Every structure is written in structure tokens, then in C-alpha cells.
Chains A and B, each alone.
Chain A
Amino acid sequence: DIQMTQSPSSLSASVGDRVTITCQASQDIYNYLNWYQQKPGQAPNLLIYDASNLETGVPSRFSGSGSGTKFTFTINSLQPEDVATYYCQHYENLPLTFGGGTKVEIK
């Protein structure tokens, strides 16, 4: 199984800050990577697919980059409504696996 390692596991930042989360795959997954946001008490929501494509309706302050084994997710100007846990997920092969999550809080 491909292991997805996210860092940091949690972070605290101020409104307006740029926030960066990294996700490392245990083997080459090309660009077969998605990012999800899960707000407290809610189901996850797809934000980024194919490593860098913004899902329809997702604010442009969210972005993703990377390929191969190293990926980055960025929130360009953190907003209060971005408080959530963010997960990466690969789909290079089965089983699909998720990173452990990054909990983002407001300082």
C-alpha cells in the first residue's frame, strides 16, 4: 500500500496568513493526488484534484502543486471559515489511501 505522510499534523496561523501543507507519497504517484477539507462535524469536501486543479466552486485562495512523491497544498490568505482538517489522498493504485490530516486553526 502507498503511504501518504502529511505535515504538519496541526498548525495555528493568523487570518490573512499563507498556510502550506505538504504530503509525501511512499512511491511515485505522478499527479494522482487529491486534497479534501473536512470542517468540524461535516463530511469531507473535495478542493483540489489531479494535484493542482481547483474543484468547481472552490475559492481561488486554495491551490495545490507537485508531482511524483512530493505535493504541496496552500491557502493563500487564511480565512476564519478555513478552520478544518485537510487530507491528501492518492489514487495511483488500490487501495486508495489518505494522509493523516492537518488540523488548521486560527491563532
Chain B
Amino acid sequence: QVHLVQSGDEVKKPGASVKVSCKAYGYTFPGQGISWVRQAPGQGLEWMGWINTYNENTHYAQTFQGRVTMTTVTSTSTAYMELRNLRSDDTALYFCTRDQTAPGTMDVWGKGTTVIVSS
């Protein structure tokens, strides 16, 4: 069935980078876009950006511009989100989601990858 499998939890030091993977199963990839959403501990949901899985066009939230890069590898049906120059307030649960051919409705979610940023 359709599902997204994310990479394992990470612990990083401030200033480091993290790259989270998201492998798609059960549907055609490339196809619909992938959005990334994060959730800080005890907080709400924050959209980070979206990637077109056909041509790798991206839309990033202004908050993350210059620090985030979203990519895909079609041959393995995998999307990646790299966040650089990590700060303590980047500690969060990061979700990949199956979105539409334009950013909008996220109908399939990965289970999430916890990223802890701590010295």
C-alpha cells in the first residue's frame, strides 16, 4: 500500500547539517510532489517546503531559505531534505508527506524523523 519510510533519528551538534531521507512505496514516483513539515516538541505543524518529483522544482518557506535543500532520486523513489547550520530550535520531528502536483494537500505522511540539536 502507499506509504513513506523515513530514515532514522539523528543527534547533531549546533552548526552541523542533517539529511533526512523519505522512500516512497506503493505509487508512481516521480508523480505527486513531496512536502516536508516539522513539529517542535509539544508544538504545532510548520511547513518547510515542497519539491516537484518530476523536475525537482522547489518552493521553500522563507524561514528556511538558504538553509534547506530538497532533492529526489528517481531511481530509488526517495526524497531528501537537508537542513544546514543547525540550531537548537531546529530540534523537532520532521515529516515527509505526499503532496499534490502543486503544494497543497498532504494525503500520506511518513512516521517522522526526530532531529535533536544539542552541544
> Is the Cβ of A100 less than 8 Å from the Cβ of B44?
yes
B59 within 8 A of A: yes
Residues of chain A lying within 8 A (CB to CB) of residue B45: 36, 38, 44, 87, 89, 98, 101
Q: Knowing A89-B45, A100-B44 touch, does A94 contact B103 (C-beta < 8 A)?
A: yes
Q: Knowing A34-B105, A91-B104, A91-B105 touch, does A43 contact B110 (C-beta < 8 A)?
A: yes
Q: Which residues of B contact A (CB under 8 A)?
A: 35, 37, 44-47, 59, 61-63, 95, 103-107, 109-112
Name the residue in B37, B61, B106 with the highest tally of chain A Cβ atoms < 10 Å from its Cβ.
Answer: B106
Residues of chain A lying within 8 A (CB to CB) of residue B110: 43
Contact of B106 among A32, A46, A100 (CB under 8 A): A46
Distance in Å: Cβ of B21 to nearest Cβ of chain A: 16
Secondary structure class of chain B's binding surface, majority of residues: loop
> Is the Cβ of B62 less than 8 Å from the Cβ of A95?
yes
Residues of chain A lying within 8 A (CB to CB) of residue B105: 34, 46, 49-50, 91
Q: How many chain A residues have a CB neighbour from B under 8 Å?
A: 23
In the assembled complex, the Cα of A42 lies from the Cα of B105 at a distance in Å of: 18
* A-B CB pair tally, cutoff 8 Å: 54
Contact of A96 among B62, B95, B104, B111 (CB under 8 A): B104
> Is the Cβ of B47 less than 8 Å from the Cβ of A98?
yes
> Is the Cβ of A97 less than 8 Å from the Cβ of B104?
no
Residues of chain A lying within 8 A (CB to CB) of residue B35: 96
Distance in Å: Cβ of A38 to nearest Cβ of chain B: 8
In the assembled complex, the Cα of A50 lies from the Cα of B60 at a distance in Å of: 23
What are the 7 tightest A-B residue pairs by CB atom distance, in nearest-first order?
A: A91-B104, A43-B109, A96-B47, A95-B61, A98-B45, A49-B105, A46-B107
> Is the Cβ of A55 less than 8 Å from the Cβ of B107?
yes
25 intermolecular pairs with C-beta atoms under 8 Å apart: A34-B104, A34-B106, A38-B45, A42-B111, A43-B95, A43-B109, A43-B112, A44-B37, A44-B45, A44-B106, A46-B105, A46-B106, A49-B105, A89-B47, A89-B106, A91-B105, A94-B59, A95-B47, A96-B47, A96-B104, A97-B47, A98-B44, A98-B45, A98-B47, A101-B44
